[in-house]
Structures are given as structure tokens and as C-alpha cells.
Amino acid sequence: MPRTQGSVHDFEAVDIQGRQRPLSEFAGQVLLIVNVASQCGFTRQYAGLQDLYRRFHDRGFEILAFPCNQFGNQEPGDAAQIGEFCSTRFGVNFPLFAKIDVNGDGAHPLFRHLKAAAPGLLGLRAIKWNFTKFLVDRDGRVIRRYAPNTPPEHLAGDIERLLQTPSG
């Protein structure tokens, strides 16, 4: 049986360029981890996410975006297409990762951890749609889960509070 992960920093993920990245490289930063898609009704949230990134990045905030094609086949592209879409359409310059599954037997271990640490409505763990957001403190603890229809700008106050809290 795999050991229970205590922090998002215990995980690794492949980035959009195909490189394995330990999430421990983000230790000490406030994180927003989001499953994203290019052809979703919420895709315009990329703009709001980029605004949060511009506003808070210099203070120790990072967004980690994980493309997912599990909801209505709304992320059909390959890594190059996803990267190009995000940069040209929305000016995204926060880290993008390789396409993953967030639900089911093939769910990425990071998302299994996120869902267990912050269940959704009525305690359900499954992610219901793209642009589900998880806020993580500087120590890698999952603080809160936000529904896909929660606009990124509504997270600013929670991000601000975490940025004012030192790690440890």
C-alpha cells in the first residue's frame, strides 16, 4: 500500500514540456492548483487566473495548471497545442503541466491527495468539472477547494491572507 502523502510537496508531475518536476520546488509558496481545459465554458477563467498570477506572483504565489480531457472531451489537444493556446490566447505564463486524469482509476496521485484533503459539496471527492481550484498554503497543506464556477478574482482575499502567513 502506498504511503499517505502529507503535503503537495511530496508529489511529482510532468510539465507541458515533458519534464518530471518535483512539486517540492514550490515549497514556501502559496499555490493554486487547477484542472483546466481549452474548450470549456469556463476557459475564459484563464484570464482571471493570469490576473491573479500577475498580482501575487512576486509575493510568493504560484498557479499550477493541469489540463484534463475527462469532462466532455474539452481538452483534446496535445501538449504543444495546449501550450500555444494558453500563451497566445490568454498570455499564460504560470506553469502548465501535462494532460492528466483527475478522477477514476487513472487519476494522478496529486489529485487523489487534493480531493481527499478537500472534498467537494456534501463530502464528495470526485471533481465535477474543469476549473476546480485547490488553494494550498506555503507548507503544502490544502486549505480550500473552489467550485469550477467560482471566478478566480473571488479567491484574491484568501490568497492575500495566506501570503501574509509565514510558513512553518
pLDDT at 140 over 90: yes
The pLDDT of residue 161 is 95
pLDDT at 100 over 50: yes
- Whether 35 maps to a domain, the answer reads yes
Phi first, then psi: what are they for 140, rounded to 5°? 85, 10
- Whether 2 maps to a domain, the answer reads no
Q: Are 83 and 89 in contact (CB under 8 A)?
A: no
Instruction: Name the pairing type of β-strands 61-67 and 142-146.
Output: unpaired
Give the residue with greater pLDDT, 151 vs 44: 151
Which range among 34-48, 86-100, 115-129 shows the weakest confidence by mean pLDDT? 115-129
pLDDT digits (tens, 9 = 90+) for 34-72: 999 887 777 788 899 999 999 999 999 999 999 999 987
* CATH code at position 113: 3.40.30.10
Give, to the nearest 10 degrees, the angle between helix 79-90 and helix 45-56: 70
The pLDDT of residue 110 is 96
- Whether 139 maps to a domain, the answer reads yes
Give the residue with greater pLDDT, 57 vs 88: 57
Give the residue with greater pLDDT, 124 vs 8: 8
Q: Which domain does 93 fall in, by range?
A: 8-163
Q: Are 94 and 86 in contact (CB under 8 A)?
A: no
* 36 three-state secondary structure: strand
Query: What confidence tier does 160 reach under pLDDT thresholds 50, 70, 90?
Result: very high
pTM here? 0.90
The pLDDT of residue 1 is 29
Contacts of 69 (CB under 8 A, 6+ apart): 37, 75, 76, 99
Which residue carries 504560470 as its cell?
94
The pLDDT of residue 39 is 77
Active-site residue (options: 30, 33, 40, 98): 40
How many domains is the chain built from? 1
pLDDT digits (tens, 9 = 90+) for 13-23: 999 999 999 99
The pLDDT of residue 5 is 54
- The rounded mean pLDDT for the chain is 89
- Whether 3 maps to a domain, the answer reads no
The pLDDT of residue 51 is 95
Catalytic: 40?
yes
* 82 three-state secondary structure: helix
